[in-house]
Amino acid sequence: MTQIKVNVNNQPMNVISPISLYELIALKQINVDGTAIAKNAAIVSKRDWSTTYLNDNDTVDIFTLVAGG
């Protein structure tokens, strides 16, 4: 296990590797309803959150999808 530095929503964050996107969401206690995640500026399907792991210096953006108009 090693510590890596990632950037989550423009904030630097130290996490213990290996860590998946799903585990990151749980760690940050974010409600997954309506939530989308992009890793290194590419959206990751929710199906793949648990198998997509973070590397050192990865950028993660977590945002809520909206549908109003």
Q: Is 12 in the site for other proteins (CB under 8 A)?
A: no
Nearest distance, CB of residue 41 and other proteins, angstroms: 5
Shortest Cβ 58–other proteins spacing (Å): 14
| 3-class state of residue 34 by DSSP | coil
Q: Which of 19, 20, 36, 53 binds other proteins (CB under 8 A)?
A: 36
In contact, 38 and 60? CB cutoff 8 Å:
yes
| 5, 12 Cβ separation under 8 angstroms | yes
Q: For other proteins, which stretch binds (CB under 8 A), given 11-19, 20-28, 30-38, 50-58? A: 30-38
CA angle, 16 as apex, 11 and 22 as ends, to 5°? 75
